[in-house]
Every structure is written in structure tokens, then in C-alpha cells.
Structure 1
Amino acid sequence: MGLREEKKERTRRQIADTAWVLFADRGFEQVTVAEVAAEAGVSEATVFNYFASKEDLFFERLDRYGLSLVDGVASRPAAESPLAAFRRLLLTSGGLLARLDEDPRALDRLRTINRVIAGSPSLRAREQLSFARIAETLAASLPGDPVTAHVVAYSLVGVQRSLVQHVRTAILAGEIPDDLAARAEQAFTLLEHGLG
């Protein structure tokens, strides 16, 4: 990566990190893009150069993580199935779900993220769009029949969505989500052996 690209990535990260602090402190709906820009030390136009909407700014991390899952499945070893690769990546690639047992701050971040999403209809809608985009991108990377590729991609992303929903339900009820790895393994085993 050249110096120009590094600077752009730093600016993008600075805007996203600044927005996250503001969203966590005040809620998504109460923060304007102008406030994010001022706090990040950039113009509002600069924010929109990097992010098409405020919702895109919020979901930048989920979108980037989803693309890393897609890239990991696309670059998997030839002997590894898409299901096995997605399972491996989802449970070990550094997402908050994978770090919940290891990183004490991960639970606080999950609480904040889920509280903010639960409080915003536009974020809940954008989250569904994010998962659909991940599934569509994954389907496009899989070989073979397009219908089969879509079934596989949406099933794999469905496991991720189900785990996210399990975590959200637990957190909003004031509980700590437990046994995520075991629940993920159970879901992937169900897919691996067929739903029948």
C-alpha cells in the first residue's frame, strides 16, 4: 500500500472510530454526520467521500468483517469445503463472537453495539442489508450452479445472523451470551448433515 492509500485508510479509520464513540455515547439517531465530521477534524463532504450514508459509517466494521469472511472462503485450500472454511473463519478470525471468551472488552462492545442497533429502526434495516450483501458476494465467489451457490451462501450467513440474534437477545435481556462456539458448531453440523 502506498503512502496515499495509507493516508486514506487512516482518515477512513479515524472517521469510523470517531463516529463509534459518538454513537455509543449518544445513540445513533442523536448524532449527525456534521458532528462526526467536526469531531474527526474533517469536512462533512470528506465523510461522504468515504461513506455513502450514516448507516454505512456505523456498519463499516461489520461490512469489512463480512468481506474478510468472503475472501477467506474464496481463498480456502482446495480440499476445504466452503462450509468448513466459513466455520473456521467465523470462529477464529477475530470477530467479536470469536473473542467473547478471551477479551473482556468484547462483551462491553457487544453491549454497546446491540443497544445502539436495537434503538434504531434504520440500523436494524441496514444490518439486514449488510448480511444480504455478504451472502450475495459469497454466492458470487462460489463455483457451480448459481441457485446452489445462493443456497450455500445464504445458509452460511444465516448461521452468522442467528448467532448475532442470539447474542442480541441475551444482551438486551441483561444476560451474558454463552456457549457461542458450541451453538455455532451445532448449527454448522446441522447444515453439514442436511436439514432433513
Structure 2
Amino acid sequence: MGLREDKKKRTRDRIADTAWTLFADRGFDQVTVAQVAAAAGVAEATVFNYFDTKEDLFFERLDRYGHELVEAVAGRPAGESALAAFRRELFASQGLLRQLDGDDPQPLDRLRTVNRVIAGSPALQARELMSLTRIGDALAARLGGDPLTARVVAHSLIAVQRSLVLLVREAVLAGDVPPGLADRVAAAGARAFAVLEDGLGGVGARGFAALEDGLGGVGAR
């Protein structure tokens, strides 16, 4: 990376990090782009050079992670299924979830904050769905083959990701964060992917017991 590209990356990261701090402190709808620019020490026009909308500021990390998921599937080893590659990348780190098992309270505070801010903003909820749809479309394009089949496969994989995100969100906002949450979510994810691997033909006829067992009560209502 050259000096110019490095400077642009540092500026983009500073703007995104500053925006996130303000959103967490005040709520998404109470913060303007002008306030983000002032706090980051740049002009408002500079913010829009890097981000098209205020919602893009919040979801920059989700968008980047989605790109990583797509590339992991596109660059999977020969003989590995798209599902296996997506599953492997999705559970590679688990980010904040895995950090919850330590003694530091900050990961849980951050997890609560991000989900509280999203839950409190219809604009962010709509943007989250848009981001996931874009990731699914990008994944379908990289899968190739029959367009309908590629889209069905891609968006089925994204549906597992979104379902796990909502599972965690419901648990966190309800104050229901048991020890080993990352392992419980991973187990639920494994069962969800198993449903896709086995095919959907028998779902409904035989019920959802296998999937529900993996939730361990987390987020279940």
C-alpha cells in the first residue's frame, strides 16, 4: 500500500470510528454527518467522499465483513462446497461473542451498544437488511452457474447469518447472556447449516426440534 492509499485508509477508519463513538453515546438518529465530520477533524464533504450515506458509516464493518465472506467462498479450495466455505469463514473468530468468555466487561458493553442502537433506529434496521441483500447478491454472482440456483443458495447462506445475528440481538437486549454464548450460537449455526445440507423437503413434516435443541434457550421465546 502506497503512502496515499495508507493516508486515505487512516482517514476512512478515523471517520468510521468517530461516527461509531458518537452513535453509541447519543443514538444514531441524534447524530448528524456534520457532527461526525467536526469530531473527526475533517470537512463534511470529506465524509461523503468515503461514505455515501450516514447509514454507511454505521455499517462499514458489516459491509467489509460481508466482502470477506464472499471472497472466502469464491476462493475456496477445490472440492469444498460453498456452504462449507461460508460456514468456516462465519465461525472463524466470532469476534465479540468469543471475547465474552473473558473477564473484561467491555465486549459485552460493546455488544449491547451496537444492538441497542440498531434496535432503536428503523433506518439502521432497513440499512442492515439492504447490506445483507447486497452481500447475498454479490455471493450469488461469484457462485456462477444457473442464476436462480446461485441466488437461492447465496441468500439461504445469508439467512443463516442473519438468523444468528437476531438470535444474539434478542438475547443481549433481553439481558439473557449465559456463559458460553459463543459456543451456543455456534451449535445453533451448525444445526441451521445442517438443515440446508439435508434439504428443506422434510422441514415442517418432521418439525424443527433439531434446530431448537441447538439454541439452548438463548433468545427463544
TM-score range, shorter chain: over 0.9
Aligned to 1:27: 27
Render the CA deviation track for 1:14-73: whole Å, top value 9, x for unaligned: 000000110001100111111100000000000000000000110000000011100111
Regions of 4+ moved over 4 Å: 97-104
State TM-score, norm by structure 1: 0.95
Structure number, greater radius of gyration: 2
Give distance in 1, aligned partners of 2:118 and 2:160.
Answer: 19
Residues 65 and 186 of structure 1: CA distance in aligned 2, closer, same or farther (over 3 Å): same
- The structural deviation recorded for 1:95 is 4.0
Counterpart of 2:199?
194
- Tell me whether 1:148 sits opposite 2:133 in the alignment: no
Q: Does structure 1 residue 116 correspond to structure 2 residue 117? A: yes
Provide the identity percentage.
69
Q: In structure 1, what residue type is equivalent to 2:70?
A: V
2: CA distance, partners of 1:47 / 1:26: 19
Match of 1:185 among 159, 183, 190: 190
Q: Report if aligned partners of 1:90, 1:98 keep a CA contact under 8 Å in 2.
A: no
TM-score of the two chains, using structure 2 as the length reference? 0.85
Q: Which residue of 2 aligns with 1:39?
A: 39
Residue 214 (structure 2) aligns with? none
Match runs of 1:1-196 below 5 Å: 1-93=1-93, 95-97=95-97, 100-101=100-101, 104=104, 105-176=106-177, 178=181, 179-196=184-201
Measured against aligned partners, the alpha-carbon deviations of 1:104-143 in whole angstroms (never above 9, x if no partner) come to 5433222111000011010000000000000000000002
CA distance in 1, matches of 2:120, 2:164: 19
Cα displacement (A) at 1:97? 4.6
Gaps of 5+ in 2: 202-221
Q: Which has the higher contact order (CA 8 A, sep 6+)?
A: 1
Distance 1:38 1:70 in 2: 34
Look up the equivalent residue of 1:40 and give its one-letter code.
A
- The count of aligned residue pairs is 196
Per the alignment, residue 204 of structure 2 pairs with: none
